[in-house]
Structure 1
Amino acid sequence: MAIILGADDAKDWFYKGEGAANLVLGYRGSSPALLGKVLRVEKIPKGSTRASECEVLTEHEKLVWADIGEVVESTSKKVVQQAFVETVLIPLLGAEHIDGGIQVIVSREFLKIIEKNVRNKRPVWRVEAAEVDLLCDSALLMSDHSIFPDGSCKEGSCISVEIKPKCGFLPYSEFIVGANAIKKSVTRFRMHQFLKLHKKEVSQMSEYDPLHLFSGSLERINLAIRSLFATPQNNFRIFSDGSLIYGGLGGVMDNTECEAKQLQETKKAAEDRAKFLIQRDFGIQLDSFLELIAEAIFKSGMLKQLLATQKLDVIDIEGAIHAYYNVICQPCLVCKNLGDAALLHRYSLLHSLPLDESLKIVREYLTAATAKDCSLMISFRPKECGDWAANCISLRSSNKIFEYRAYYIDMDMKHLEKMVYYYKSDPESLSVSSIIENCCISRNVM
């Protein structure tokens, strides 16, 4: 029987977090069908008008995904997203670590009450950017991967981490121009950190290196996890029984220099609380817990699959943008503004590709973009000695055994027009090369 959420049900849902496209709500009611679930509710940019459901995919997007019938035939954004996960991502990443969820019916009154109830819980900049889409008639119900699905964790015994791993490789495309060669030696995450610090959007740079996390080396994975804990920003969060205890809410930015002291004090308090709960519930020190996370990532093999999917972006946005213009059958605005004959010749090779090859490049680029932007959710609970299973870890630093569950989350399908945004955002992040040089000079002078 279909689940229908009306006005009376709104009180049972609370704000848990959000991304660019959806609010995530946790459940505190008593319905057996909803216990241990989260609800992903669509947002819409403030001041924008909602496209009709028949325009869920543009004609060019239908062309890109023509080989994936379930995606093209979908009648709403929610169904498109679900079909994308089931028919595109699961074959690449495996069903074991992906939860496609189910659609539930929501009334407009339910959404209005939710919008009102969560407004004061949301980060201010998120509130200013987007609001609940009141014209939606359904939402995506999924398991809450910050707790164990069978609900057998007694209170205070399930601790989870959410990680945004980012892009795990350096591009090597021949279509990257010489002026942008820094992309081949400095990760995009690192460049964005320099840029955010320069703009005073963060008070300190993260030392996290995605190349460590994706390396396949347990030692380097450990280093990556410790760096994420030291400067979590919006890339690392810890939950105790589904409640956030460490890290930011829905991408809250570590904001201004004048708030640095207050932010450090808040972070220290959160760190102390996390240490206390880990010691109380798991009987281990923080160092051992970070080791546990690294062991789970290493053992699961999830990042090997994720990296392979990210690497579907073979020619970088500097190459893929030309395939994009082939697909939309418009003159290439990149080539139009170029005066370099050698570059024009190089890009002409892309513009001479058959349409099916251009479609493949664009389709794989968009799929890779989803893989670069997703998160991992890993949950842990103690196990009795001798009660061993395939998804268990025995910590070398203690005599304790832990069970873990790991999932990919936030696997949102990227729209075709985002490719123009990705291309235009490249110059901003690449301008960081001069910032990096200045930082290095300043450090040497000091």
Structure 2
Amino acid sequence: MVELVLEEKDAGDWIYRGEGGLNIVLAYSGSSPNFIGKVLRVRKVKRNGSEFDKPPSALSTHECLIWEGVGDLLSASTKDIVNHMYAKHVMSPLLGSQHVDPGVRVHVTKEFLELVHNGVLFKRPSWRVDNARVNTLHDSALLMSDHSIFPHGVHGEEFCISVEIKPKCGFLPISRFIRDANSAKKRISRFKLHQILKFHQGKISQISEYDPLDLFSGSKPRILKSIKDLFLTPQNNFRVFVNGSLIFGSSGGEAEDTDSQIAESFEETLKNIIQAEDGLRTPKFLQLVGEAVFKSGIMDRLVEVQKLDSFDIEGAIHAYYDVVGQPCAVCRELGEGKVSSKYEELHEISVDESLKIVRDFLVASTAKDLSLMIGFRGRGKGSRESSYDVVCLESSNQSFDYKASFIDLDMKPLEKMPYYYKLDQEIVSCYTRMMETVNRPEKPLMDTSYQEQLTAIEDTSQT
């Protein structure tokens, strides 16, 4: 196989699609058959003086223990290659190879990356620009299928409309290692609890009605409700593309809540896609998405991977400290006399058992933070047999090919486990403090609408 190389002359064919914390995603707009229907993930580097540091080493000593014997992970020379192999050897078998494209590494020159950096600068959110830039010292990038289009469809007359959803965690934990003071985690989804902390921190302007438990429920009405809730408050959890171009949601941060102007614009964009009168196209499209989620059964497979985290972070953090050979900071924080026997039991299990607990937690964490792409392509009457699954939108008498794929499957760093534990405790304690405030109306510390939202969350958890 001829090695693919992207050089200075190729930079103009790659356009900004979006970005996350570690990578910028570029879509291809040229004519080379090697790249049509592909996206490129290029690595970023923080603007904090580390811009010219060497690429990070692949795995730490303790990570080598965790991932020993898994594919070729230990032979990887960089974190990028680790993530590629992790998607291929760990996540793809668990989620289904038909839903995962781990991609291929391609060589990129420094000149190519410099031109890409300059070319996307004004497309990126300003806070992303302030935080990080393209890492021009990397010599490779990851070439993957563009799940927002069907192969070769973007250059023909047919359209492809696709949605990107970040489902988040779709089950309530039942781990016996969750402390009684944190029992809200067993009643209310992690996403709903985290929304309260984000609102309190000023990171979001409104608490989303979306609840992952609806999306994962297997109930068509609840799935449809979850899609509608995502549409109304997309934040960074819901985006829509037509032929690969973003038409709804944010390209690299929190999207605005959907107001009438945004809704009208989206309705107009659907004019040649969904056959319905004005004002009815958006509801029918959201129904189409819900139908595909329900029919595919893909959420069942995803939640099984998420449930590999059977100990919760409150249990897994103890196994973590044993794996890294450090005194348990959580037990120290709890203090002598308050450390439950069940935590002491965790520190007495074998090293292999501790490694498995941590490994399963990290895999589940990837599954809780990935994105789901569902692409749709219209089918006319008498269309040929399709190699794709078909979903029917009976209310508009239309049929669509659809495909569902998982993206953003990077390995979670072992070193972040103390952070995960700290964030978990912040989320629950914020909820607890806010509920105490709601129950003490003589000392209002928040506006009425926020009180109503909190009460509604608690009420929902009781049903």
**Given the alignment of the two structures, is residue 432 of structure 1 paired with residue 431 of structure 2, yes or no?**
yes
Identity rate of aligned residues, in percent? 48
Q: Unaligned stretches of 5+ in structure 1?
A: 255-262
CA displacement at 1:45 relative to structure 2: 2.1
Alpha-carbon separation, structure 1, partners of 2:320 and 2:132: 28
Q: How far did 1:443 drift?
A: 5.9
Match of 1:233 among 208, 232, 235: 235
The CA deviation string for residues 282-305 of structure 1, in whole angstroms up to 9 with x for no partner, is 324211111110111111121111
Mapped pair 1:356 → 2:348: no
Distance 1:81 1:378 in 2: 23
Q: Which residue matches 1:398?
A: 396
Pick from 277, 288, 294 the counterpart of residue 292 of structure 1.
Answer: 288
2:140 paired residue number: 138
| Residue type at the aligned position of 1:393 | V
Counterpart amino acid of residue 385 in structure 1: K
- The two structures have a TM-score, normalised by structure 2, of 0.90
Which stretch has the larger CA shift, 350-359 or 382-391?
382-391
Q: How far apart are residue 16 of structure 1 and its match? A: 0.6
Q: Give, in angstroms, the shift of residue 340 of structure 1.
A: 5.5
Contact 2:154 2:243 in 1 (8 A): no
Shift of 1:156: 6.6
Residue in 2 aligned with 1:321?
Answer: 317
Offset of residue 132 of structure 1: 1.4
CA contact (8 A) 2:148 2:375 kept: yes
Of 230, 247, 263, the match for 1:271: 263
Cα distance change of structure 1 residues 199 and 30 upon mapping to structure 2, 3 Å threshold: same
Q: Is the 8 A contact 1:168 1:307 kept in 2?
A: yes
2:212 matched residue in structure 1: 210
- Note the aligned Cα RMSD (angstroms): 2.0
Number of aligned residue pairs: give it.
Answer: 436
CA drift at 1:445: 8.8
| Structure 2, unpaired ranges of 5+ | 442-447, 453-463
Aligned to 1:118: 120
Q: CA deviation at 1:432?
A: 2.3
Alignment partners' CA distance in 2, 1:80 and 1:311: 23
CA contact (8 A) 2:319 2:347 kept: yes
Give deviations 1:375-410, integer Å, cap 9, x for gaps: 011111110224354600112212111111110011
The one-letter code sitting in structure 2 at the alignment partner of 1:140 is: L
What is the CA deviation profile of residues 74-98 of structure 1, one whole-angstrom value per residue up to 9, with x for unaligned ones? 1222221111111111111110111
248, 272, 281: which is aligned to 1:280? 272
Q: Which residue of 2 aligns with 1:260?
A: none
Checking the alignment, whether the CA contact within 8 Å between 1:310 and 1:368 is kept in structure 2 is: yes
Distance 1:222 1:277 in 2: 21
For residue 239 of structure 1, give the secondary structure of its aligned residue in structure 2: strand
- Looking at structure 1, the residues matched to 320 and 304 of structure 2 have their Cα atoms a distance apart, in angstroms, of 22
CA 1:197/1:41 → structure 2, altered by over 3 Å: closer, same or farther? same
Q: CA, structure 1 residues 159+406, in 2 after alignment: closer, same or farther (shift >3 Å)?
A: same
Over residues 263-295 of structure 1, what are the superposed CA-to-partner deviations in whole Å (9 max), with x where a residue is unaligned? 66xx43332222122232232421111111011
Runs of 4+ in structure 1 deviating by more than 4 angstroms, as ranges, are 50-54, 439-446
Is 1:44–2:45 an aligned residue pair?
yes
Q: Which amino acid aligns with 2:345?
A: L
- Per the alignment, residue 456 of structure 2 pairs with none
User: Which of 93, 96, 102 is the aligned partner of 2:95?
Assistant: 93
* Cα contact 1:195–1:435 (8 A) shared by 2: no
Aligned to 1:28: 29
* 3-state DSSP of counterpart to 1:111: helix
Alpha-carbon separation, structure 2, partners of 1:300 and 1:68: 29
Separation in 2, partners of 1:114, 1:436: 48
Match 1:197 to one of 185, 196, 199: 199
Contact 2:55 2:138 in 1 (8 A): no
Q: Which residue in 1 is equivalent to 2:445?
A: none
- 1:153 shift after superposition: 6.6
